Amino acid sequence: METNTPMIRLNKAIADSGYCARRKADELIAQGKVKLNGDVVTELGTKVNLETDHITVNGQPLQSPPKVYLLLHKPVGYVTSRKAGKTQKSFYELVPPEFRTVDPAGRLDQDSSGTLILSNDGDFIYKVTHPRFHLPKVYEITLDRPLEETDFQKLKDGVRLMPENKLAKMTRVETVNGNRPTYQVELITGFNRQIRRTLIELRYRVLSLHRVSFGPVRLEGLGAGQIRPLTETELSSLLALPLPE
């Protein structure tokens, strides 16, 4: 029987189900943990028809739960990982059981706090974390000593970090009024622990790091450890981003 349902890539079908992000789906396929109509499939480019094909992941039929889009105010002391060490706490401990299928859009390390977007929509996470869209991320940081005047420009020009051999830049660096050496910085693109590592290169120690906003999403009164759905305005702005090729 013919169908007009379009064929889509297997990794997209898994991501759309909310099981995991698309890159993780590729890993599961390569590991032989995905079956299509009863047969193990390991070819990443495989296409499927959602109306006629039967997909299982780790032996379980692929489900399609309602998509959710959440904002968590991550406190210090929680890792942004599903699996935590014996002495660590996972941010999933703060997420209601009905939302445990969500994944984080990006990460905040254990010693950092603030805006963390969560969703079970793999394509959504892929879009909002893709460098193509240059979504600004704003952080408030407190240092062990005031920034020297020359270092404001160094942070904007970029500091080369190893082993990536990449130039780590901050698009904005501003002083926050107060008694402590506190600053607001903005990143467009970033990589692992970029802010802390950049400041270490300039001989500073970050005492606290708090993500104020991620694109159009701001905490604005959400207490540490609290969670809320994204507003219609926030979500429509992010969903309007086209899917990267």
Q: Could you give the residue numbers annotated as active site? A: 109
Q: If DSSP states are collapsed to H, E and C, what string results for 10-72?
A: HHHHHHHCCCCCHHHHHHHHHCCCEEECCEECCCCCCEECCCCCCEEECCEECCCCCCCEEEE
H/E stretch holding 9 reads: strand 8-9
Distance CA 88, CA 120 (A): 24
User: Are the C-beta atoms of residues 111 and 209 closer than 8 Å to each other?
Assistant: yes
Tell me the C-alpha distance between 10 and 61, whole Å: 14
Distance, CA of 125 to CA of 24 (rounded, Å): 12
Distance (Å, whole) CA 216 – CA 131: 16
